[in-house]
Amino acid sequence: MTEQPSRRDVLMDAALGAVRAAVAIPAGGLLSSVAARTANVREAVGTVVDGAQVAWIWALTKQGPQSLIGIAPSGAVVGRIDATNKIVLRAPDGTAIYTIATGDSSTPPTATALVRAYSALTGTLRMMIESGAGANTLVDAALSLDGRYLALLDLPEITYAGNGTYGAAVEVIDLLAGQPAASRRLVVPSGTTLGGGIEFGPSGSDIYAFTYDHDDNTTITAVRFDQRRLTQTRQATGGQRGHVIPPWSLFPARILPDGKTLVFLADGTTVQWLDLARLTVSGRLAARPVTNGAKPPRPAILFSNDGRMLYIANAATGLIQAIDLRRRVLAGAITLPTPSSGDSADLQALALVQAALSADGTRLYAFNSGEGDGVWVVRTPESRVVGNWLPGVSVRAVWPSPDGQTIYAIALDGSYTFVLDDHGREKAVLRHRISGGDFVLPAA
């Protein structure tokens, strides 16, 4: 149950209500400029807030089906967005939320995926786009770094493409124009495709589709997006002569800023660099042992926003390793204090969520799911623990706002969401009951 709102929150809600009426944007005018940011709202107490600083939590509540809950830096709930049976993405600048309906058992197989765009400031619906991808067979989506294009990966059910291969399809939607821009069916040289993912390269012109099948074959297909056309350019499948792509190990991954290299963690122990021009592994770095149990938990990994650093963390040892991705070396290690209770070897991975790193990369917010150790604050340049916030609280997820002024934390049991300032002091505590709960992170 939500706590009784304060006068501050009532004033915030009133201010946001006025903004909803004043800044309503017609469906066709969602992004008059790709770089444009959501209009700022001035709270009654004088704090400037924009949509990028609002936290959005993916949660299932007693009030209805799975939804996104928007929480402002004041602690006020600013809106809700339906997230049932949907892929959810957040714009790179944080000011827009996109949902793509994926369909369910009650949806006809021919139904198309519907893309909806919402304001991250208020949760107001701004635009709807009908995609050509099949809702029931849509498996992943990605945003370009400039926020203009949305790529969808569709895996039609055993669609025969000739010559003993099966098909997959990529579609690109122009969010500025509000309509599909291009689509192309890919040829994937494997058996029945079970799943996959899709990523944009930094330039927005290169798109990479990752698919895998029941034989653990992982295929990478490169697609060029140019002048509203998609062209399949190259492809590699794990296990083929000349290619070394470990099965089932490309997620999560990051394409580095140079646009030429993809980095991933293979088998939870080895950092690997993949040359995207040749689609072959070009380098490996065996990290220090990160587990000490017979059945060790999978380590959590976190890429810095600029793509230059990779952090590998595990609860079994309390060790966080910092990998310099350009120099391909171990740059430092951080050992967290011993967990307060329990057998640490049996704990889940240290849950470093992907956004638990300050925008400037100087602070890391680490937390140990299942332990009441709160949030450990780490100064990354010195690899040094400098604080412990919310002691006694078991934390599920953390998200620092891009301006660095607010840190949001969700309790493990979903009963509280804490809103903290940059010194760890509580600004607000929301009492509610959430089944699950995680933050919707801006696209990297």
pTM above 0.95, yes or no: no
Of residues 236 and 167, more confidence is placed in 236
CATH code reported for the domain at 289-444: 2.130.10.10
What would the DSSP string read from start to end of 47-72?
-EE-GGG-EEEEEEETTEEEEEEEE-
- Does residue 26 register a pLDDT over 90? no
Of these ranges, 28-37, 287-296, 365-374, 393-402, the one predicted with the greatest mean pLDDT is: 393-402
pLDDT band at 187 (very low <50, low <70, confident <90, very high): confident
Residue spans per domain, the chain: 249-286, 289-444
- The CA-CA-CA angle for residues 176, 179, 180, to 5°, reads 115
Q: How confident is the model at residue 177, as a pLDDT?
A: 93
pLDDT band at 230 (very low <50, low <70, confident <90, very high): very high
Q: What is the Cα–Cα distance from 328 to 331, expressed in whole angstroms?
A: 9
- The CA-CA-CA angle for residues 308, 420, 315, to 5°, reads 55
From the list 220, 219, 266, the residue with the least C-alpha distance to 246 is 266
Q: What is the Cα–Cα distance from 347 to 368, expressed in whole angstroms?
A: 8
Q: How confident is the model at residue 155, as a pLDDT?
A: 82
pLDDT in tens, 398-441: 999 999 999 999 988 878 899 999 999 999 999 877 776 789 99
